């Protein structure tokens, strides 16, 4: 189940594309592997933390403090759903301090 923007080439390319798209969403400060590091896409020699691909894909993120958490989660869901062409569960695992500047 893939959308038109997802390149062929297996879960590695798809997981990397999803991770990059999620990290580009304003307010997302990172991907999160879950409380025990259990959330990820396992690939030969590496792991894409925070992304679990399947019939219903999951994305686990950390959100920057001060962001509208529901809006960020909604944008992550919409972005990934458009890429994959299917349902997506978004879990906000943590809120991180906003960068100082």
Instruction: Find the angle CA(65)-CA(66)-CA(67) to the nearest 5 degrees.
Output: 95
Predicted local distance difference test score (pLDDT) of residue 63: 98
Is it the case that residue 99 has pLDDT exceeding 70?
Answer: no
Residue bearing tokens 């025990």 = 36
* Residues 26-53 pLDDT 10s: 999 999 999 998 999 988 899 999 999 9
Element (H, E) at 31: strand 28-31
Measured in whole angstroms, the distance separating CA 78 from the mean position of its chain's CA atoms is 11
In CATH terms, the superfamily for domain 11-96 is: Cation efflux protein, cytoplasmic domain (3.30.70.1350)
What's the predicted TM-score (pTM) here?
0.85
* Residues 50-98 pLDDT 10s: 999 988 999 999 999 999 999 999 999 999 999 999 999 999 999 999 7
Q: What is the number of residues in the chain?
A: 101
Domains of the chain by residue range: 11-96
Would you tell me how many other CB atoms lie within 10 Å of the CB of residue 3?
12
Residue bearing tokens 């991907």 = 31
């Amino acid at each position: 189940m893939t959308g038109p923007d997802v390149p062929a080439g297996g879960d590695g390319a798809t997981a990397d594309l999803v991770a990059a798209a999620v990290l580009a969403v304003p307010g997302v400060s990172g991907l999160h592997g879950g409380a025990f590091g259990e959330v990820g896409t396992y690939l030969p020699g590496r792991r894409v933390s925070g992304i679990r691909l399947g019939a219903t894909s999951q994305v686990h993120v950390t959100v920057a403090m001060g962001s509208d958490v529901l809006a960020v989660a909604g944008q992550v869901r919409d972005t990934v759903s458009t890429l994959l062409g299917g349902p997506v569960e978004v879990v906000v695992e943590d809120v991180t301090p906003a960068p100082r500047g």
